[in-house]
Structure 1
Amino acid sequence: MTDLLWLWILLAVLLVGGLTTALVAGVRRRGAPDRDALPGDEPGDADGGLPGGGAASTDVLERPVDQAPPAARLDVPEPVAGRLVRLRGRLARSGSPLGARLLGVLSRDHLTEDDWDELEETLLVADIGAGPAGELIDALRTRVRVEGVREPGAVRQMLREELLGLIDPSLDRRLAATRVTRGDGVEVPAVMLVVGVNGTGKTTTVGKLARVLVAEDRSVLLGAADTFRAAAADQLQTWGSRVGVETVRSDKEGADPASVAFDAVRRGREGAVDVVLVDTAGRLQNKAGLMDELGKIRRVITKEAPLAEVLLVLDATTGQNGMNQARVFGEVAGVTGIVLTKLDGTARGGIVVAVQRELGVPVKLVGLGEGADDLAPFDPEGFVDGLLGDA
């Protein structure tokens, strides 16, 4: 009897133990947190508790801990051909007062001396310069007298031909943007030194030029050699980062510009990039100081690679006032090409002729607006047609 009692007690204990185990398991299944669960896997939260309501993904578990996050999306610069068409259209729509005035006078029945004086004054106001203005008036006088041109279409064509002749479409306006081989057989990047007075949009132009080159599938490296303005290096780095272009700079304000330029060119050679663009300080406190600084930069750069271009950035709206700047930089820097910024309005478009005559080098690029892709190679025919508009 005693044995039977103990047997019943044992069966009761086993039964209570089994019920307790089942009860605990049921509670865990209904929502009790598991000590081994991952953070964010709280029960009752169908999306895993991720911000924004996104479902928990195994990608988080499978991605290596040291894997970098996805890179920021880069800008895709507008193709150069497309922007040329757009900029030409903008010129044509601007209703150029220069072209309208010239055509208006030349279309009169009988041109008097006062009319010719008016034409010359219009050209001078447009910053074409006294010499080129006189040449154009003489050529127009001769053609009007010999050809007797009066019909509007013929007048426009005559003026177009003479203006185009002054701008000289035969000049080589191509950028030297191809890698070259040094005398020792080492291939090096095409190095472009960009100079100009602060306030002309020089640093912005360097950034836009980088976009032009990237649009042409060239690899680019930027050198922030304007070390006297920390904002200039920051600005240049921002422009470059948008299109995946690296910027070589110094963290020390007032560092040696020549040293930064040298580092940029060397980095470009080691990285086998196509073009190195070097931005320089635009201080014009005196000619001697400017000559010393730019001279040192040139000497240091050429230890690594020859200079392919020295581009002078000029603000087109400064007109003849900008010619003094052009003369100084032309003498000091050995300018090979001109970049005219802020050529939005064409009333003073004669500056193209004046600056080419003054420096003996072509306008290679023009900026026609504030957009990131509003810099384009200069097209003489498109520019003249824009000056004349639909008149």
Structure 2
Amino acid sequence: MELAIQAEGLRKRYGAHEALRGVDLAVPTGSVLGVLGPNGAGKTTTVRILATLLEPDEGSAKVAGYDVVRQRKEVQRAIGLTGQYAAVDEQLTGSENLRMVGMLQRLTRGRAKERAAELLERFRLTEAADKQAGTYSGGMRRRLDLAVSLVAEPSVLFLDEPTTGLDPASRLDLWAMIREQVAAGVTVLLTTQYLEEADQLADRIVVVDSGRVIAEGTSDELKRTVGGERLEVGLADPAQRATAAAALSRALGAVPLADDTDGLLRVQLTAGLDDIADAAVALRASGVAVTEFAVRRPSLDDVFLSLTGHPGRTPAGDPGRNDSGTPAGEHAEDLAEDLAGDHTDGRIEERSAA
């Protein structure tokens, strides 16, 4: 199996704070790895190291077959990067932004213009090509930002919480564009706190917390770690809770759990349809009237909460702070500025994460 991204034992410290404490990653070529974790878990620091914007204190990593410390130039030519917030120049038009990045990445003037036109069409921005990026909607800016990261046709794409702040329609739009890149053979590492995003896009998922990988697997594999299907029962009369719980316990051989927040009884299922039928018969025989009777599979939210003790972020959630305590958007802008700057002068300006 050919790996597009491989990391072993990555460690990074900011003073007394250890942001990464031995992170291992392996991402097959042409696949999507979702990296989940709460704020401060180490996601952005991992991306910065893999994108050559930081050097690890310990450990090693290769991206597109190149060592991120010893072969930084080769890595940079192979990757694209989109951060948490659009980092395009708002004073330039969409077309000018793309052409500028093409020139910074040493495309000829003609090829940069041609590539800009291709991407504007692909991302449905042609009508806005000659408008200043500062006039774009949030969804349009994110599409332009993703287009900018693809100017040099990278084989590996880093997406650091790319849909932060987008409305549901724009988020779905961006997901479709990410899938197009994967279908074309691009390898994607996606960091996110939106659990649905990882569920929709990722072939495999790693969960990080406090600088460590604490779980890894497909979405279904991770969901199985918190148990199988559960039956949820809502009662017409809350006074019948004890009767319903006893009936379910006798029928299924498992003790139901009562949730005072929503009034539901929840019980683990082990025999699928047989358990469901037995539960329904037992409740009817006990004279229990129900308002809700539903089977629920574990979600990534259950996994995330079980593993980290934190709920996953909702689309309306606060962007929060990143691994080093800096507002998240500041690091996202640093990512794009550092990478673009390195194409022009051959250096990477490593910013302090303190």
User: Which has more strand, going by share of residues?
Assistant: 2
Larger CA Rg, structure 1 vs 2: 1
Please indicate, yes or no, whether the TM-score normalized by the shorter chain is above 0.5: no
Q: What TM-score, normalized to structure 1?
A: 0.24
User: Which has more helix, going by share of residues?
Assistant: 1
